[in-house]
Amino acid sequence: MASIKDAFEETLQDEHALAMYIIFAIPLFFCTKFLLEPDKTNQFLLTALLTAVLYMGFTLKCTSNVRSTKNVVLPSFNIFPLLWNGLKGIIVLAPLIIIAYTLEYYIAGWLSNLITNPVTLSIFVAITTGLCNSIVYTGYILYARRFKATDVYNIKTISTYCVDILISVIFMKIQMAIVNLIVLTPILYFIWIFFGLPHPLATFYCCTVIVFNLAIMGHYMAQIDYETIKERDSI
């Protein structure tokens, strides 16, 4: 079973891991700073776009490194390959995301006309949302293997494994919530005692933890791929 403990430990064991998390948190910190300043809307939009592309490439590379059984989890400090891989990943996955969430929208509308009980409707809508999300998660995993666009649209693989992958992702999110609680609480409490909240130091620390989360997610998604798809394909 995929292990959040392995993901947590191995993403910290890379050489210069802490330095990478701090450096890669800088763009997100500036996004937050520009977001809170009304006259910096243009700067926010540009920074947010570049940051999203960079983080997509960062997470994909973490997944690829682990899936390829390399000795490192994290990418290099060279941001240009990450920007390129992130841009390609967004372009390749965008049609799948559009299809999945369009499907979710129409199914949710159909269900709202069919089911009158609000509790029952909420349950079925939540199931629909989860299944549509699972299509995106599976597409991401398939793309991170070899960075080939054709892998993303392997309908047979997506339909076979998307539910199992969804269950694994739900467990990942629960475990990551616990990890974040443990990682964030003591440091933010320390900052609150000495500097008060909100404070730029607290904001930057949260940005660093978000980058750390991306590395853990990338690692965990590789584990899901290996255990859910590869092992079952080999049976």
Residue 234, pLDDT score? 43
pTM: 0.92
Phi and psi torsions of 73, nearest 5°: -100, -45
Q: What is the DSSP letter of 148?
A: -
Let me know: does 51 contact 84? Beta carbons within 8 Å: no
At 41 the three-state DSSP class reads helix
Residue 235, pLDDT score? 37
Residue 85, pLDDT score? 95
Q: Pinpoint the alpha helices (H) of 36-154.
A: 41-67, 79-114, 118-146, 149-152
Residue 83, pLDDT score? 96
pLDDT per residue rounded down to tens, the chain (235 residues): 678 889 999 999 988 999 999 999 999 999 998 888 878 888 889 999 999 999 999 999 999 999 988 889 999 999 999 999 999 999 999 999 999 999 999 999 899 888 888 899 999 999 999 999 999 999 999 999 889 999 999 999 999 999 999 999 999 999 999 999 999 999 999 999 988 888 899 999 999 999 999 999 999 999 999 888 865 554 3
Residue 78: half-sphere exposure toward Cβ, Cα within 13 Å: 6
Q: What is the DSSP letter of 14?
A: S
